[in-house]
């Protein structure tokens, strides 16, 4: 299984830090945020990792190289300046991700989720890791029941930014900027999206306050 780190976002809410630095390189407890993912993925046995890049994207390969420090191979999916959103970014990277299921991780989260877990999953369309809704999203996103995700129902959980996708989820899509959410909602209505709840450490590093929270978690 290959993995993809989604790292093309602008990071508007972390300005001025992100005026000169792509958000995945923002330091958390003295280490660039994206390096936590690379370390965890390598420890979980991933050897081929795709990273998309957009805003100040040239800084990423300058900082990370080809992945040798972590015993992995990094391949780059270069996006236009306006970025492609999650759906468009994943779709563009599909030729680099192989024909089977792949792990996708948002580059702007900090978590201790065990990346060994997705490697044993049987994923036919999509599998999302869900968390109890944090302050940024108190209403939650989807309802998890019997291992399946549903767009309606209570209680609701929040999408963590960690998922396994099968390329067939993107069949019929055309290149360009689009969200993955409509694809997921359509698949949920067909009852073919699985999910799991994770109650471990997690932080969305989207604001200075949550950056401080992630630093506390990383240092603990």
Tokens of 185: 């909602």
List the chain pLDDT tens, one digit each, 220 residues. Answer: 999 999 887 555 555 555 567 778 888 888 898 999 999 999 999 999 999 987 777 889 999 999 999 999 999 999 987 779 999 999 999 999 999 999 999 998 999 999 999 988 889 999 999 999 665 566 789 999 999 999 999 999 999 999 999 999 999 999 899 999 999 999 999 999 999 999 999 988 766 666 666 667 777 7
- What top-level class would CATH report for the domain 3-219? alpha beta
Q: How many CA atoms lie within 13 A of 204 on its CB side?
A: 16
In the chain, where are the structural domains located? Answer: 3-219
Predicted confidence at residue 215, as pLDDT, reads 67
Predicted confidence at residue 18, as pLDDT, reads 52
- Are residues 75 and 61 in contact, defined by beta-carbon separation less than 8 angstroms? no
Extract long-range pairs of 179-183: CB within 8 Å, 24+ residues apart. 179/85, 179/86, 179/87, 180/85, 180/86, 180/87, 180/90, 181/87, 182/87, 183/87
Predicted confidence at residue 1, as pLDDT, reads 94
Question: How far is residue 73's CA from residue 42's CA, in Å, rounded to a whole number?
Answer: 10
For 88-132, give the DSSP string: HHHHHHHHHH-SS-EEEEETTEEE---TTGGGG---SSEEEEEES
Predicted confidence at residue 20, as pLDDT, reads 60
181: Cα separation from own chain's centroid: 13
């Amino acid at each position: 299984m290959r993995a993809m780190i989604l790292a093309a976002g602008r990071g508007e809410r972390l300005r001025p830090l992100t005026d000169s630095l792509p958000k995945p390189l923002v330091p958390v407890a003295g280490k660039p945020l994206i390096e936590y993912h690379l370390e965890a993925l390598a420890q979980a046995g991933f050897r081929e990792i795709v990273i998309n890049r957009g805003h100040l994207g040239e800084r990423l390969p300058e900082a990370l190289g080809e992945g040798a420090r972590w015993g992995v191979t990094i391949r780059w999916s270069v996006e236009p300046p306006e970025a492609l959103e999650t759906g468009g970014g994943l779709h563009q990277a599909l030729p680099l991700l192989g024909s089977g299921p792949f792990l996708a991780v948002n580059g702007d989260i900090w978590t201790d989720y065990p990346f060994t877990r997705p490697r044993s999953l049987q994923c036919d369309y999509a599998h999302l890791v869900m968390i109890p809704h944090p302050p940024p999203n108190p209403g939650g996103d989807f309802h998890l029941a019997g291992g399946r995700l549903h767009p309606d129902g209570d209680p609701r959980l929040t999408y963590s930014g960690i998922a396994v996708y099968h390329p067939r989820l993107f069949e019929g899509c055309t290149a360009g900027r689009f969200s993955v959410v409509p694809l997921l909602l359509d698949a949920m209505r067909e009852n073919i999206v699985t999910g799991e709840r994770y109650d471990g450490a997690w932080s969305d590093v989207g604001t200075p306050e949550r950056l401080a929270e992630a630093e506390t978690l990383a240092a603990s």
